[in-house]
Structure 1
């Protein structure tokens, strides 16, 4: 969609201060929301609202055959070297010792979800990236 950048910017502004809530607004659903804003396809429709604890979301992923939300992303998008990631691509970061988190690349940084809302993290910390 030619206006994906505008729609991604509007999505980021809309969710910037939403509280972190597993099953409603966590890192995986944040990234899926960004993908939906850019493409019009909701890849998380089957997951959103179906769990209230990350442990329950992880169990649902495993029941569906995925080891993690990162493995689910890897099944949906081609992986690229993090240094080649472009605006709108899905980024993978270490989440302060709590496993891996998904974010969205924007320029020299990526948006990630923190308990207080969105934050920017340097691309230098990206572990993996997926082309949207």
Structure 2
């Protein structure tokens, strides 16, 4: 099990706004921000639930090293659909509309969006319906 994951973004303010809107339907919100004076390595924002950040973005490193794939689990398909709509409305680029992906397993229901830096962000539900 992962405790947290993070990656660099090219425009911190733009990405902060994108993730605040795109992750809201999944019940994931901004938990904390730390600045370069606190970290010694740039600005960072931690998203999560119940006061625990587990997904981080930051501007302290080169965001051009290549895209990252992150998948957020949810308990129902409606949240996957809502994530996709919110992410597109926030400026994301469709990288796979909500739907079943039976090549992974019969109940794999996911949606994929490219964030402002081209990172492949997914919401996925593994429930039967």
TM-score by length of 2: 0.30
Q: 1 or 2, which has the higher helix percentage?
A: 1
